[in-house]
Amino acid sequence: MENIIQLRSVNKWFGEFHVLKDINFSVSEKEKVVICGPSGSGKSTLIRCINRLEEHQKGSIIVDGMTLDENTKNISAIRSEVGMVFQQFNLFPHLSILENCTLAQIWVKKKTKNESEKLAMDYLRKVQIDDQALKFPGQLSGGQQQRAAIARALCMEPKIMLFDEPTSALDPEMIKEVLDVMVDLAKGGMTMCVVTHEMGFAKEVADRVVFMDEGNIVEEKKTSDFFENPENERTKLFLSQIL
Amino acid sequence: MRSLNFIKTRFFSSPIDAFLTLSISYLIYLTIPPFINWVLIDATFYGETKKDCIDGGACWVFIKIWFTKLLYGLYPSEEIWRINFAFAILIISIVIYKYLNQKLKKYLFLFLVIPFPIFSLVLFSGGVFGLSPVDTREWGGLFLTLVISIFAIIFCFPIGILLAMGRRSNLPVIKYFSIGFIEFWRGVPLITVLFMAGVMFPLLLPSGTNLDKLVRVIIAITLFEAAYMAEVVRGGLQAVGRGQYDASKAIGMGYWKSHIFIILPQALKLVIPGIANTFIALFKDTPLVFVVGLLEILGMVNLAKTNPYWLGMATEGYVFVAFVYWIFCFAMSRYSLSIEKKLKITN
Amino acid sequence: MSFLQNKIEKFDQYLSDHPKVKFFLPQALLVVFLFIIIGYLSFNASSNLAARGIDTGFSFLNKKASFDIQFSMIEFDSSMTYGRAYLVGLLNTILVSVIGIIFATIIGFFFGILRLSTNPLASGLATCYIETLRNISLLLQIFFWYFAVLRLLPSAENSLVLFNFVYANIKGIYIPRFVWTNLSFFIYGIIFTIFFIIIFNKYASILREKTGKHLPKFLISIGLLIIIPSFVVLTFGVSLEFSHPKLEVNMGISNYIGGVSIIPELIALAFALSLYTSTFIAENVRAGILGIDKGQKEAAASIGLTKTQILKLIVIPQALRIIIPPTTNQYLNLTKNSSLAAAIAYPDIVLVFAGTALMQTGRAIEIVTITMLTYLTLSILISIFMNWYNKKVALTEK
């Protein structure tokens, strides 16, 4: 299978702090990868580098055949192929849910209003909040907001979806509704990179689990192997704490 | 190499940045050296008259000669010790305040708010205990600025609290009276309020009574500032939150008891920065008392610059007063910012 | 303390036992109190006025004012009424407020954005500017510009000439007056252009919604704004000449005649008001921009919007929501502060009406009341707008 995301010895510093140390990492098409690790291990930075919300300083990142570096002119082309879901939802509070979903279609993909609204409603239906389309983000619960954020990303019809701790900011009773949407998405064949601590989700859908600590990929295994016989001490410790 | 890189990223990271850096540097080059020359290098500090001053530099002799008047107005020079004495007590109290325990702090605070102002007023105006009387017409300068702003802020405080509570009351007459009162004073400029104090108040009092001009001004400013204070306090009352009201009701406290002992102390603590800002605004507004003929520090400069021996000293005078205002206001706003930050951390 | 506490407790207890007393007593007391105060004051006022032989009422507004006003936007001379003088003052107040508001906004936005610059020199300059000017009494700033800076200008004979058409001297600043031929055609042309641009922009939006085609709205609008008026000028023979101010000596006093003169009082006042208020607006702008979560920009970038689009569609609309309410408040403050005009004799409503007219008629109560009500009306109008705006914003947000 072809690698849709390819990172080769990627390094990144925040000032003096070395966040990513020689990361080699790849994702093939339709693969679902879960990235976990203690906080500050660099996992969020890693996926933020994939759509260049963060710039890496050394190494190479290739996404869908396009190399990400300072010379990249078509950043927004890459970004519209890579959807991203944030921990804090980041819906636009001054736009309705529907407008949140049509904004980029209209301004980036230059679609008509009708077309983009139709597509937006399709995805809102898929995440089961089509009845909330005309409301504003502030009127929705956290779980509904996160589902709307997923729909917003899907409206760009991306090839890859990145999730940055999508359930960490949610109340426990809302986590499931978001995870259900993500499971459906996975079953539909989307390529996914998910930073999460939800090990149940990892077991259910992930093909592969990556464990990061202090800027390194410490362990990287098929899901069943990862949970049944982790090798590294730090992975074992982490799993014992989180499970 | 590293510092060169630092300069490049901080000062020349984009064409706009480079343009800003260059044009601001040029602006600084154009303004700062001449200003420093004027204020310090070419300035005259020694001398007694305007003739001692050299052209092209500031004539600080002007400030030196008029210094006492700028601070105390026309207050008789042999009585100035009274003002110094009162302000010395005030400053010492503020300095030792920090080092006292809770109980003493409370007493000192009460002393500063109630007996001390009365004591100082008696001291300043004299006429008792063998102190010769000093007419308020002779009060002026920075002394008058401080008297007006400090007294107005102390008096407007209780009225402001009552108005804030009134505005939140569910008794319609009280509520709408408070709203009307607050919005009226907030809607008019201070200068018209002072006009009112100057020309309208005397008509509203029984004929024959002659209320002192300074008293009229302080009453007018107090009413004006009370409206602003009320809005500041109301913000605090709102921020205290429903929970505190419910909790005090649950333990059987009535309206007044819960307000005096639970809610107001918390609310007032929250709005200390707001109170400080109100005080700064009031302090900056005091020069307006010129409309009724009172001369605080800026008024004294205007008087001094029209003195035939000292014509052409406007700039020196204004720069000096600006410096005084700036020191006071900047210090107070920094103080209120630091409290604001502290409050944010504790919440 | 416990004694006091006890008393308050008993008082509270009494109130809660007698809900009717609790409801009616304080209100009745307030009403009675107000009645007594108002009655007392009006009794004093009427007996004072009677004693001084001043009659009351607003009839004086129709009487001849018999004073001159140095600067007026409408025709005024000493044969006109006090009512007219009031109008002159009001218009002058509005004039300086509008000028002040426009410049304060521009300067405020400039320094607010500059303060957020990553360039330490730029942000330092902005900080210095803001912290210096906001901490100095406004009246002092007005005096400074009027007495210290504008007084440094030369006499009329030695006027400072800028760009060959602006003449600055101690009596004011003089600029050429526009002399138009066929001005009405030009005005119609401009109105037509504006109308046309609005229609075009609507059309462009509809086109975008219907077909997804994006027209360069801004560029085309600018183009239209240049092309149509120039066409009008060329075909209808509109022409513009300048009547330059000329130095004339009359009875030994030289002065500029013929141009538009801007009196130094207006300049000093507008200058001080805009600079002082701009520092507060700058802080609002800074707070508005900082108030937008970093995540908003990231989310917008992650769905492929470009930097300009993020600014236009995400940052500015949200920042304005935070900036506009406190800034409207500053506009209100500026309007009220324009009353300091009286200090340097700019003929605003306070100087003309509460000053000169009051001095001449002695109608303190009527005149102070009218002046206060005028400001109150301005304030209420602005706050009605603000409430309307806040409600609109609140509706779309919640």
Q: What is the pLDDT of residue C390?
A: 74
Which residues, in sequence order, are bridge partners of residue A25?
A: A7
Q: What is the pLDDT of residues C136-184, one digit of tens each?
A: 989 999 988 888 887 777 776 677 777 767 777 777 777 777 777 777 7
Q: What is the pLDDT of residue C252?
A: 66
Give the C-alpha separation, C63 to C103, whole Å. 38
Measured in angstroms, the CA of B132 and the nearest CA of chain C are apart by 33
Measured in angstroms, the CA of B310 and the nearest CA of chain C are apart by 14
- In this complex, how many residue pairs, one in chain B and one in chain C, have their CB atoms less than 8 Å apart? 170
Tell me which amino acid residue C285 is: V
Q: What share of chain C is helix, strand, coil (3-state, %, to 5)?
A: 75, 10, 20
Q: What is the pLDDT of residue A98?
A: 93
Q: How long is chain C?
A: 398
Q: Which CATH class is domain B49-75+134-342?
A: mainly alpha
On whether the CB atoms of residues C250 and C311 are closer than 8 A, the answer is: no
Q: How long is chain A?
A: 243
Give the C-alpha separation, B91 to B150, whole Å. 13
Q: Residue C258's pLDDT band (boundaries 50, 70, 90)?
A: low
DSSP result, A140-199? S-HHHHHHHHHHHHHTT--SEEEEESTTTTS-HHHHHHHHHHHHHHHHTT-EEEEE-S-H
Rg (CA), chain A: 18
CB atoms within 10 A of CB A151: 28
CB atoms within 10 A of CB B295: 22
Task: Write the burial class of residue C276 (CB in 10 Å: 0-12 exposed, 13-18 middle, 19+ buried).
Answer: buried
Q: Residue C398's pLDDT band (boundaries 50, 70, 90)?
A: very low
Give contacts of A156 with chain C, Cβ < 8 Å: 303-304
pLDDT averaged over every residue in chain C: 83
Measured in angstroms, the CA of C303 and the nearest CA of chain A are apart by 5
Q: What is the pLDDT of residues B4-22, one digit of tens each?
A: 777 777 777 777 888 888 8
Q: Which CATH class is domain C82-176+244-393?
A: mainly alpha
Residues 168-227 of C with CB under 8 A from B: none
Give contacts of C318 with chain A, Cβ < 8 Å: 92-94
Give the C-alpha separation, B48 to B64, whole Å. 9
Give the C-alpha separation, A199 to A217, whole Å. 18
Interchain contact B159–C (C-beta under 8 A): no
pLDDT averaged over every residue in chain B: 83
Q: What is the pLDDT of residue C109?
A: 92
Helix (H) or strand (E) holding C261: strand C260-262
Is residue A107 pLDDT above 70, yes or no? yes
β-pair type (C172-175, A3-14):
unpaired
Is residue B304 pLDDT above 60, yes or no? yes
On whether the CB atoms of residues B141 and B296 are closer than 8 A, the answer is: yes
On whether the CB atoms of residues C283 and C330 are closer than 8 A, the answer is: no
Give the C-alpha separation, C351 to C341, whole Å. 7
Among C212, C303, C321, beta carbon nearest to A80: C303
ipTM over 0.95: no
Residues 6+ apart with CB under 8 A from B121: none
First CA to last CA distance, chain C = 47
Q: What is the pLDDT of residues B22-81, one digit of tens each?
A: 888 898 888 888 888 887 777 777 777 777 777 777 778 777 777 888 888 888 777 778
Structure tokens at B265: 């102390």
Residues 6+ apart with CB under 8 A from A208: A31, A32, A33, A34, A220, A221, A222, A223, A226
CA distances for C84 relative to C95, C98, C340, C374, C377, angstroms: 16, 21, 21, 15, 19
Give contacts of A53 with chain C, Cβ < 8 Å: 298, 301-302
Residues 183-212 of A with CB under 8 A from C: none
Q: Quick check: C398 and A83 CB within 8 A?
A: no
Give the C-alpha separation, B255 to B291, whole Å. 43
CA distances for C165 relative to C160, C162, C176, C235, C261, angstroms: 10, 6, 7, 28, 12
Q: Residue B87's pLDDT band (boundaries 50, 70, 90)?
A: confident
Helix (H) or strand (E) holding C40: helix C19-52
Interchain contact A112–C (C-beta under 8 A): yes
**Cα atoms found within 13 Å of the Cα of residue C5, Cβ hemisphere only:** 6
Q: What is the pLDDT of residue B60?
A: 81
Question: Which of B203, B248, B251, B327 should be substituted to probe chain C, the one whose Cβ sees the most C Cβ atoms within 10 Å?
Answer: B203
On whether the CB atoms of residues B167 and B230 are closer than 8 A, the answer is: yes
CA distances for C161 relative to C67, C175, C247, angstroms: 34, 10, 12
Q: Quick check: A112 and C302 CB within 8 A?
A: no
Structure tokens at A196: 């999460």
Among A82, A107, A112, beta carbon nearest to C309: A107
Give contacts of B257 with chain C, Cβ < 8 Å: 5, 8-9, 12
Residues 6+ apart with CB under 8 A from B321: B70, B297, B298, B301, C137, C140
β-pair type (A160-164, A216-222):
unpaired
Structure tokens at B272: 């200390």
Structure tokens at B223: 């009413």
Q: Quick check: A76 and C211 CB within 8 A?
A: no
The residues spanned by each domain of chain B are: 49-75+134-342
Q: What is the pLDDT of residues B230-258, one digit of tens each?
A: 999 988 888 887 778 788 877 777 778 88
DSSP result, C122-171? HHHHHHHHHHHHHTS-HHHHHHIIIIIIGGGSPPGGG-EEETTTEEEETT
On whether the CB atoms of residues B182 and B229 are closer than 8 A, the answer is: no
Q: Quick check: C304 and A111 CB within 8 A?
A: no
Q: Quick check: A94 and C302 CB within 8 A?
A: no
Measured in angstroms, the CA of C322 and the nearest CA of chain A are apart by 12
Helix (H) or strand (E) holding A221: strand A216-222
On whether the CB atoms of residues A35 and A210 are closer than 8 A, the answer is: yes
Structure tokens at C137: 């009494």
Rg (CA), chain C: 29
Highest mean pLDDT: which range of A1-10, B121-130, C64-73, C108-117: C108-117
Tell me which amino acid residue C11 is: F
pTM for the structure as a whole: 0.83
Give contacts of A115 with chain C, Cβ < 8 Å: 212
The residues spanned by each domain of chain C are: 21-54, 82-176+244-393
Interchain contact C315–A (C-beta under 8 A): no
Q: What is the pLDDT of residues C43-54, one digit of tens each?
A: 888 888 777 777
Structure tokens at C256: 């500029």
For A47, name the nearest residue in chain C, comparing CA atoms only: C302
Q: Quick check: C140 and B298 CB within 8 A?
A: yes
Is residue B292 pLDDT above 50, yes or no? yes
On whether the CB atoms of residues C159 and C175 are closer than 8 A, the answer is: no
Q: Quick check: C210 and A153 CB within 8 A?
A: no
Interchain contact C257–B (C-beta under 8 A): no
Q: Quick check: C208 and A114 CB within 8 A?
A: no
First CA to last CA distance, chain B = 45
Is residue A33 pLDDT above 70, yes or no? yes
First CA to last CA distance, chain A = 32
CB atoms within 10 A of CB C64: 11
Question: Which of B29, B162, B188, B258 should be substituted to probe chain C, the one whose Cβ sees the most C Cβ atoms within 10 Å?
Answer: B188
Phi and psi angles of residue C69, each rounded to the nearest 5 degrees, phi first? -120, 130
Nearest partner of B268 among B153, B151, B157, judged by Cα: B157
Higher pLDDT, A243 or C284: C284
Q: Quick check: B203 and C117 CB within 8 A?
A: no
Query: What 3-state DSSP class applies to C174?
Result: strand
Give contacts of A55 with chain C, Cβ < 8 Å: none
Measured in angstroms, the CA of C186 and the nearest CA of chain B are apart by 38
Q: What is the pLDDT of residue B227?
A: 92
Q: Quick check: B325 and C47 CB within 8 A?
A: no
Q: Quick check: A110 and C212 CB within 8 A?
A: yes
Structure tokens at A188: 């539909």
Q: Quick check: B207 and C47 CB within 8 A?
A: yes
Q: Quick check: C210 and A113 CB within 8 A?
A: yes
Q: Which residue matches tokens 């017409």?
A: B137
Q: What is the pLDDT of residue C299?
A: 92
Decide: A and B in contact? Rule: 3+ Cβ pairs under 8 Å.
no
Give contacts of A84 with chain C, Cβ < 8 Å: 299, 302
Q: What is the pLDDT of residue C36?
A: 92
On whether the CB atoms of residues C238 and C181 are closer than 8 A, the answer is: yes
